[in-house]
Amino acid sequence: MITLRALTKRFGDVTAVDDLTVDIRPGQVTGFLGPNGAGKSTTMRMVLGLDRPTAGQALVNGRDYRTLRHPLHEVGALLDATGVHPARSGVAHLRAMARSNGVPARRVTEVLDLVGLDARAAGKPGRALSLGMGQRLGIAGALLGDPPVLLLDEPVNGLDPDGVRWIRGFTRRLADEGRTVLVSSHLMSEMQQTADRVVVLGRGRLVADAPLAELIAARPAASVRVRGPEPAALAALGDRLAAEGATVTAADGGMAVAGSTAGRVGDLAYEMGVRLHELTPVAPSLEEAFLELTADSVEYAAGPTGGDTR
């Protein structure tokens, strides 16, 4: 378990993490989300003793990381996939980590097998590793001590679709074994398929801490997507729905209807004799919930699209 209590970190006049109190519990994958500059990486660094808190506590299983005699047996982490000496092979890197924490040498082979790195790939020097191979090597390092707590910062960066799917299943299996798994990512669609719970930061402060399903369910249904082969008839259907109070907008060669239900749209289309090719409820998504929660917390906001870029 990871316990954060009133955790605060300031860099001069900048408050990177602001009075953060949250528990990251075992047996589930917790998605750690936030815009750039929200304080996610700084929080992880404080958990791992790499940054000293200005105030508050960050504890692993009730203890400060810096007091752990063999930390790899308590918590594993991937913060930077490029954190390998450029001239040292992946195998040598893992062997050095293992020796420093009293991990048997045979465990190096075991974790390389777990993450799908063969001897040829693991024998390459750090400078020759692709980002995807570096990610797998970093995860192997996190698993060396078979720890009950894992922190993974953007673990799918550089992975191909098969690798992304592997990460999804792998983190799920680790949580099902009863481990505490904290995963940060900017890929909302991936987090929606992976996380049980989400913790959202905005400008260093806690914005949300809730089960994923609960967070999404709290958002209103996005819309009903409607398409048909007769544009005029579809427009007439849209007018009727608008007269009932729905919001109708053009979308994807058809229309999106908010404030109504697929059942009502279908019944009305039947009554009006409007032929439909698609009638799809569009459920709210984690991305929509995230954007709504962090709307006031983005560090850089882009201007409107579609204008003159000269």
CATH of the domain at 28: 3.40.50.300
Distances 105 to 108, 141, 245, 253 between C-alpha atoms, Å: 6, 13, 68, 60
Q: What is residue 309's predicted lDDT score, i.e. its pLDDT? A: 44
Q: Are 17 and 165 found together in one domain?
A: yes
Residue 68 lies in a domain: yes
The pLDDT-based confidence of 310 (bands split at 50, 70, 90) is very low
Tokens of 228: 């048909």
Distances 249 to 25, 258, 260, 292 between C-alpha atoms, Å: 42, 9, 13, 20
Question: Which range is least confidently modeled, 48-52, 162-166, 202-206, 217-221?
Answer: 217-221
The tally of CA atoms less than 13 A away on the side-chain side of residue 34 is 26
Average pLDDT estimate for 78-91: 87
Q: Are 134 and 6 found together in one domain?
A: yes
The pLDDT-based confidence of 156 (bands split at 50, 70, 90) is confident
Q: Are 212 and 236 found together in one domain?
A: no
The pLDDT-based confidence of 92 (bands split at 50, 70, 90) is very high
Q: Are 131 and 255 found together in one domain?
A: no
Average pLDDT estimate for 173-188: 94
Tokens of 3: 């316990």
Range of the domain at 247: 223-282
Q: Are 200 and 62 found together in one domain?
A: yes
**pTM of structure:** 0.81
Domain stop point among 197, 217, 237: 217
The pLDDT-based confidence of 307 (bands split at 50, 70, 90) is very low
Average pLDDT estimate for 267-272: 96
Residue 293 lies in a domain: no
Q: Are 112 and 253 found together in one domain?
A: no
Q: Are 134 and 195 found together in one domain?
A: yes
User: Is 287 a residue whose pLDDT tops 70?
Assistant: yes
Q: Are 264 and 126 found together in one domain?
A: no
Query: Which is more confident, 64 or 299?
Result: 64
Average pLDDT estimate for 160-181: 92
- How buried is residue 265: exposed, middle or buried, by Cβ count under 10 Å (0-12/13-18/19+)? buried
Tokens of 53: 């808190």
Q: Are 144 and 34 found together in one domain?
A: yes
Q: Are 93 and 146 found together in one domain?
A: yes
User: Is 86 a residue whose pLDDT tops 90?
Assistant: no
Residue 158 lies in a domain: yes
Q: Per the structure, how many domains does the chain have?
A: 2
Residue 304 lies in a domain: no
Can you list the alpha helix ranges (DSSP code H) found in the chain?
40-47, 90-100, 106-115, 119-122, 131-143, 161-176, 188-194, 212-217, 231-243, 262-272, 286-293
Provide DSSP, 189-256: HHHHHH-SEEEEEETTEEEEEEEHHHHHHTSPP-EEEEE-S-HHHHHHHHHHHHHTT-EEEEETTEEE
The pLDDT-based confidence of 303 (bands split at 50, 70, 90) is low
